[in-house]
Amino acid sequence: MSRFYLTTAIDYVNSRPHLGTAYEKVCADVIARYKRLAGADTWFVMGNDEHSQNVYKSAVEQGLDPLAYCDRMDEMFQRTWRALDLSYDDFIRTTEPRHKAGVTELARRIHAAGDIYEGVYEGWYCVGCEAFKPEKELVDGRCPLHPQTEPQWIKEKNFFFRLSKYQKPLLELFTNNPEFFEPDVRRNEQLRLLESGVEDISVSRAGQSWGIPLPWDPKSVVYVWFDALINYASAVGLGGDEATFGKWWPADLHVVGKDITRFHTVIWPAMLMSAGLPLPRKVFAHGFLTVGGQRMSKSNPGTIVDPLDAAKRRGVDPLRLYLAKEIVFGGDGDFDWDRFDERYNADLANNLGNLVSRVTAMANQYRNGRVVPTGRGSDRLGLIGEEVARQYREAMDALAIHTGAAAAFRLVDATNEYIATKAPWALAKNPDAADELTQVLFDAAEAVRLAAVLLSPVMPSSSAEILRRVGASSTDLRLDRDGRWRPVGERVLVKADAIWPRAETDRSKRVEQSKTEQPSTGVPAPSAPAPAAPAAAGSDKITIDDFMKVELRVAKVLAAEKVPNSRKLVKLSIDVGTEQRTLVAGIAESYEPEALVGRTIVMVFNLKPAKLMGIESNGMVLAASPDGGKPMLVGFDQEVAPGTRVR
């Protein structure tokens, strides 16, 4: 049996886990679960990075012993990870004795190889990054990632690691094993840096107590990054359990964020080369997650999403699906509450969940829940199922987990189409079609089963429930046996409540509202200024809450025509991301209708509908209205997707 050892980055425990941290762990968990499904003997390790000065500082601020503080944070982190159904086999903390043993062993080997020398480090240090910062990387004297934190000027006796000695072997590694570091864009970035030269790095800190003492100079501690990287080896027994280490090392995959690739693809392999240990087979760098288009940042609390809040909204599996499917693994992605609800409704409530309900209901209505293949149908769905399973395996083996998840949903779509074409409700009225009806129901149940197996790494507990409902086992799934079209055997289908009830979203509520409300009369023309609201005494300013009531969105013009008998008005059909709308805009004097088609505009999305020249207008286009001039549309200097909020 092949074996697969994978890790995630370990986290500083001086703040709570947020959705960006969770994104990495969920993706790694999908890979771990896929490897188990594919039959690999899998070992999945996560952990906490506890020897940070920030951790020490947070503990002191709270009047806690650092270790007691780390215990408390560990409890919080692992509670979150368990709630997200992460299937890690081991969780390492860098304050554990086994980690100290691993760090001591690796440091000893590198020292013995002659790659450590003593020197004086003088320069800037950013505590936020826990890293030394060359002057040229500072902006206005601050670390660009931590502008609130003043960098420290440090002059101390340090031990240095001869990283420069490994420039050539690293270049060879990058050139000869391109699969060592993916995606390509990140490898090329690092390769250019490598080519431009590598300097030795400081690997110790003097005069600190929080950390692991250097074996040859116990008055110094190992620099926190040097310490942290070694967790991947100490977790599987380096320096303590040679048999386990021999079984699992080298790691098959390190999943890390794109901001820490230098540590993982330059420093870490060089450390291992120096220590005479095999290198990990692959480092994969994922992108960053923004929230509503904004970078998650402590200085902007609205952007920090607690993964447990997101899971509470629609469930753990819908969140896992969003993270795995809606974001290209390796690229940057965005989490948006509205979009989360929309994808939930589109993929789960209306599509997969609805399919499970229909198939189980029809099987119970027409065949008392029991179906067996009769051989009286077409093999079209089976062929699609085999093709989807092949594409899925190919994508998942290449770590394209978004493509793998999407493949499973192609089978769901095909099954819905198959049912619509075969119309079981019509077959049920024709006694001659009894066998065909049974086969159609069987095929649909088999397609649902296969889709659930393929989705099991992404949505483990929902997949198990779907498998139960279509009469298939969910224990000990194996891709080579269960992850393919299986046109045999009796299925007993169970009818039950909807797995994912349709979510009433803010956006769908608004749409419903605007559909039912009568257009008000006597509205001003769209480009006319709105009547001034009575200003509060002594203030003409509005609050951010007032502003946020106005929902501005990006839309794309699909069609445009002049409104008959009007000089100013043009009627637009627009794509607002979630639907198509008609609106009337007073811009006909500035723009020919043909010139508007395909154009990106900004509109007030939640404006009450109004009738203009007999046409119902749903929204208002934003345009500059210079005095005495013609209106000018608001635009962007880059392509923006319809539906994107503007604020």
Query: What residue ranges bind Zn ion (CB under 5 A)?
Result: 126, 128-129, 143, 145-146
**Least distance to Zn ion, CB of residue 129, Å:** 3
How far apart, in whole angstroms, are the C-alpha atoms of residue 568 and residue 533? Answer: 26
In the complex with Zn ion, the residue whose CB is nearer, 110 or 126, is 126
DSSP assignment of 382-395 equals HHHHHHHHHHHHHH
In this structure, what token pair is assigned to residue 598? 């395909």
Instruction: Estimate to the nearest angstrom the gap between the alpha carbon of 631 and the chain centroid.
Output: 41
Complex with Zn ion: residue 137 or 436, whichever CB lies closer: 137
* Distance in angstroms (rounded) separating the CA atoms of residues 310 and 338: 12
Least distance CB 51 / Zn ion (angstroms): 17
Query: How far apart are the C-alpha atoms of 447 and 407, rounded to whole Å?
Result: 13
Residue 26, H or E segment: helix 19-37
| Minimum CB–partner distance for residue 53 and Zn ion (Å) | 12
Give the shortest CB-125-to-Zn ion separation in angstroms: 9
Residue closer to Zn ion by CB (options 129, 324) is 129
The Cα–Cα gap between 191 and 187 comes to 6
Question: Of 143 and 283, which has the nearer Cβ to Zn ion?
Answer: 143
Per the CB < 8 A criterion, the answer to whether 7 and 253 are in contact is yes
Give the C-alpha separation, 435 to 375, whole Å: 8
Please state the closest distance from residue 318 (CB atom) to Zn ion, in A. Answer: 35
| Shortest reach from residue 128's CB to Zn ion, in Å | 4
C-alpha–C-alpha distance, residues 225 and 15, integer Å: 18
Closer CB to Zn ion, residue 150 or residue 506? 150
Gap between the terminal Cα atoms of the chain = 54
Residue (128 or 377) nearer to Zn ion, CB: 128
Q: Are 230 and 99 in contact (CB under 8 A)?
A: yes
Measured CA to CA, the distance from residue 216 to residue 214 in angstroms comes to 6
Q: Minimum Å distance from CB 239 to Zn ion?
A: 31
Task: Check if the beta carbon of residue 95 is closer than 8 Å to that of residue 203.
Answer: no
Compare residues 130 and 227 and give the one whose CB is closer to Zn ion: 130
Q: Which is nearer to Zn ion, 259 or 517 (CB)?
A: 259
Smallest separation (angstroms) from Zn ion to the CB of 263: 14
Amino acid at 388: V
Q: Which is nearer to Zn ion, 262 or 486 (CB)?
A: 262
Three-state SS letters, 273-330: HHHCCCCCCCEEEECCEEECCEECECCEHHHCCCHHHHHHHHCHHHHHHHHHHCCCEC
Closest CB 200 distance from Zn ion, rounded Å: 21
- The two counts, helices (H) then strands (E), for the chain are 24, 29
- What pairing do the DSSP bridges indicate for beta strands 580-585 and 181-182? unpaired
